[in-house]
Amino acid sequence: AREAGHFSEIETLYSNCAELYVEEGRPQAAAEAISRGAVALSDANPDVASSLHFKAIEWLEESDKESTFPDIYRQAIMHAVKSKKWVDAVKIELKFAVSSYSGNAMSTMAKSYLSAVVIYLYSEDGKRAWETYQDALGVPEFASSDQAFAAEDVIAAYRSKSKESIESAISRHASFKFLDNCIARLVKNLTKTDVAKTAEGLGGGAVDLGTLTLHDDDEEDLT
């Protein structure tokens, strides 16, 4: 069906398959099935693919085992970034952060919060970047992480409206190198965006993180 261009049939096929899994009480299998359908439709019908990705995450959340399927979140994030649906991308990153926290994958959780900040900075939405960062600081495990320091440093650099300062902040923190590939590419292109516009939305002053404990930047979770 895919080769013939029958994309509506692909959607129906994967959706029906997923619904059968749901009826059998297997929401994780349903999430995997509908996620594969979303990937298959990613280029041909991005909007439908987006809705399928969200459905996959919804079923995972209903299963209470969402932390064991990180790739479903990553596929959804990659599609949202590729489609330039920045709000959707952040929404999924935040869901991924909560899922990772519940699975005790603290490094992955911190990366998700940093990724959410990066997405809003890249999309030139300084206000939402700042608000997202402030909200994330409410999670102690993030507030004491290297990713929190990296986010604070790059936000401070944005306030200076200096592209050189932004590049310097990025180079100082290895945390940026360990983000998922689609987010790492955004990091590399932050200074190609309208930095001055983004800076206008960044309120508040610098947060003093100096008394918090740093963790190794290259600490990885087995997720």
Of 93, 10, 21, 87, which is closest to residue 52 (Cα–Cα)? 10
Distance CA 136, CA 117 (A): 10
106 in the same domain as 41 = no
Looking at the domain assignment, is residue 17 inside a domain?
yes
Query: Which CA distances in Å does 161 have to 81, 124, 132, 167?
Result: 25, 12, 20, 11
Looking at the domain assignment, is residue 56 inside a domain?
yes
Q: What is the pLDDT along the chain (223 residues), one digit of tens a residue?
A: 454 455 677 788 888 888 888 888 888 999 999 999 999 999 989 999 999 999 999 998 888 776 678 999 999 999 999 999 999 999 999 999 999 999 999 999 999 999 999 999 999 999 999 999 999 999 999 999 999 999 999 999 999 999 999 999 999 999 999 999 999 999 999 999 999 999 999 975 544 444 333 344 444 443 3
Distance CA 13, CA 40 (A): 11
Looking at the domain assignment, is residue 134 inside a domain?
yes
Looking at the domain assignment, is residue 69 inside a domain?
no
Domain residue limits at 179: 85-223
42 in the same domain as 111 = no
Query: Which CA distances in Å does 108 have to 33, 102, 171, 222?
Result: 24, 11, 20, 9
Looking at the domain assignment, is residue 91 inside a domain?
yes
Hey, is 204 helix, strand or coil?
Answer: coil
101 in the same domain as 49 = no
Inter-residue contact 60 to 18 (CB < 8 Å): no
103 in the same domain as 45 = no
146 in the same domain as 42 = no
89 in the same domain as 57 = no
Of 16, 46, 10, 18, which is closest to residue 34 (Cα–Cα)? 18
Domain count along the chain: 2
Looking at the domain assignment, is residue 78 inside a domain?
no
